[in-house]
């Protein structure tokens, strides 16, 4: 068997690295905290048969042109907007991702944000830790109900549907926006497909699960976010650029939105100073898939995609 070289742009969990090494591959793992990371990727890519990048690592024409041996880009993510897929395809390079495995973890985290912001969990934790809890009070940290409310799902793919199915335990009504009808989802949950304007106007909780594309960039913007039902909550565990952050801040400051739960940001990793100072916003550091089991399986899945392309000429989870 030929010995292939795999460049991994971050210290991902070991299971996938071990799979590659067991095949006799040369595996070079970079440190994502290295200040010279971009330069190192650009330098070392020229000898790589396979690249395993994070979603935060850009794989553009400039980088691809530096990689004459490259046969596969196995993204360590379900999304792949960091990769110039069209250009990779023109060069005969296979692009893969890690679908499905992230669904339960991300759906669970979405619900953690819904409940945290509605029930003011983070505020309550901070109050107790600061020694300010003086006993039960009738108006202490009053939040919003979840049971019986309406959940609006923007993007009813795997994750959006998983979030919706979890809402059944809270006896919620479901609305969803999707380019295509989801008859099985509708049958199983009673969900109703509507347009975005209707969803924003009627939902008590709005949760975003669409991919980032040219069409979904600023899908929620200053113009249509003003149509959101007053007192609603906005949750985003998808991509930060789907929401115009300036408009979100404005609605939160005015009190039009009761709160927000965010795992992603428009200018990630930068976070708006105004968001940082809002008590009715729960902020997480992009940890939607952050469980041991999920991240280990993502590592294995990326490795299996690389092995399949290099040894069999086809991917298990191709994007292009």
Q: For the stretch 39-61, what's the b/e string if a residue is b when 16 or more beta carbons lie within 10 angstroms of its beta carbon? A: ebbeebbeebbbbbbebebebee
Q: Would you say how long the chain is, in residues? A: 320
Topology adopted by domain 103-283:
Rossmann fold (3.40.50)
CB 81 within 8 A of CB 103: no
| DSSP state at residue 87 | H
pLDDT of res. 4: 97
Q: What is the pLDDT of residue 279?
A: 95
Nearest alpha carbon to residue 202 among 151, 236, 250, 154: 151
Active-site entry in 239, 295, 300, 304: 239
User: 3-class SS at 44?
Assistant: helix
User: Which of 21-25, 33-37, 138-142, 200-204 shows the lowest per-residue confidence on average (mean pLDDT)?
Assistant: 33-37
Domain ranges, ordered by start, for the chain: 5-101+292-312, 103-283
Given a cut of 70, is residue 318 above it in pLDDT?
A: yes
Residue 120 and residue 295 in contact, taking contact as beta carbons nearer than 8 Å: no
Which is catalytic among the residues 32, 186, 268, 274? 268
Dump the DSSP string for 45-76. GGG-SEEE--TTS-B-HHHHTT-TT--EEE-S
**The predicted structure's pLDDT at residue 96:** 98
Q: Is 39 a catalytic residue?
A: no
For residue 63, pLDDT over 70 is answered with yes
Range 5-101+292-312: architecture per CATH: 3-Layer(aba) Sandwich (3.40)
State the catalytic residue, choosing from 217, 218, 256, 286: 286
Give Cβ neighbours of residue 203 (< 8 Å, ≥ 6 apart).
150, 151, 152, 175, 228, 229, 232
Please confirm, yes or no, whether 239 is among the known catalytic residues: yes
Q: Is-catalytic flag, 268?
A: yes
Global pTM value: 0.89
Give the pLDDT score at 307: 98
- How many percent of the chain have pLDDT more than 90? 96
Other CB atoms within a 10 A radius of the CB of residue 141 amount to 11
pLDDT digits (tens, 9 = 90+) for 211-252: 999 999 999 999 999 999 999 999 999 999 999 999 999 999
Summary count for the chain: helices (H), strands (E): 13, 12
Give the C-alpha separation, 131 to 291, whole Å.
31
Q: Distance between CA 145 and CA 35 in Å, rounded?
A: 46
Which tens digit of pLDDT belongs to each residue from 116-172?
999 999 999 999 999 999 999 999 999 999 999 999 999 999 999 999 999 999 999
Please report, in angstroms and rounded to a whole number, the separation of the first and last CA atoms in the chain. Answer: 26
Distances from the Cα of 185 to the Cα of 153, 165, 202, 250, angstroms: 12, 8, 20, 34
Asked if domains 5-101+292-312 and 103-283 share a fold, the reply is yes
Report in angstroms the alpha-carbon separations of 201 from 92, 198, 206, 284: 46, 5, 10, 26
Q: How many whole angstroms separate alpha carbon 228 and alpha carbon 201? A: 5
User: For residue 2, what pLDDT band results from cuts at 50, 70 and 90?
Assistant: low
Nearest to 191 by CA among 217, 173, 203, 209: 173
Q: What is the pLDDT of residue 3?
A: 87
- Could you tell me which of 120, 228, 209, 126 has the C-alpha nearest to residue 164? 209
Q: How far is CA 239 from CA 64, 162, 218, in A?
A: 24, 17, 10
Contact 182, 176 (CB under 8 A): yes
């Amino acid at each position: 068997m030929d010995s292939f070289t795999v460049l991994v742009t971050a210290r991902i969990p070991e299971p996938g690295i071990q799979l590659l090494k067991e095949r006799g591959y040369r595996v070079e793992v970079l440190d994502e905290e290295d200040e010279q990371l971009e330069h190192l990727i650009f330098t070392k890519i020229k000898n790589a048969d396979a690249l395993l990048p994070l979603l935060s690592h850009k794989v553009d024409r400039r980088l691809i042109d530096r990689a004459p041996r490259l046969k596969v880009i196995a993204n360590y993510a379900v999304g792949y907007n960091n990769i110039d897929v069209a250009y990779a395809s023109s060069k005969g390079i296979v692009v893969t991702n890690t679908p499905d495995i992230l669904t339960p973890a991300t759906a669970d985290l979405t619900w953690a944000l819904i409940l945290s912001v509605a029930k003011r969990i983070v505020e309550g934790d901070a109050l107790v830790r600061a020694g300010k809890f003086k006993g039960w009070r009738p108006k202490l940290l009053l939040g919003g109900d979840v049971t019986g409310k309406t959940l609006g799902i923007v993007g009813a793919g795997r994750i959006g549907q998983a979030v919706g199915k979890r809402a059944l335990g809270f006896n919620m009504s479901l609305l969803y926006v999707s380019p295509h009808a989801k008859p099985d989802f509708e049958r199983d949950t009673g969900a109703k497909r509507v347009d975005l304007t209707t969803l924003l106007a009627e939902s008590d909780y709005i949760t975003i699960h669409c991919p980032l594309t040219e069409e979904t960039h600023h899908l929620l913007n200053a113009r249509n976010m003003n149509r959101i039902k007053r007192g609603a909550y906005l949750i985003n565990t998808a991509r930060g650029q789907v929401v115009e952050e300036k408009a979100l801040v404005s609605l939160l400051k005015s009190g039009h939105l009761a709160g927000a739960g965010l795992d992603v940001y428009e200018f990630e990793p930068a976070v708006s100073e105004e968001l940082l100072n809002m008590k009715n916003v729960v902020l997480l550091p992009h940890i939607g898939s952050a469980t041991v089991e999920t991240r280990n399986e993502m590592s294995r899945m990326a490795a299996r995609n690389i092995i399949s392309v290099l040894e069999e000429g086809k991917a298990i989870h191709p994007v292009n």
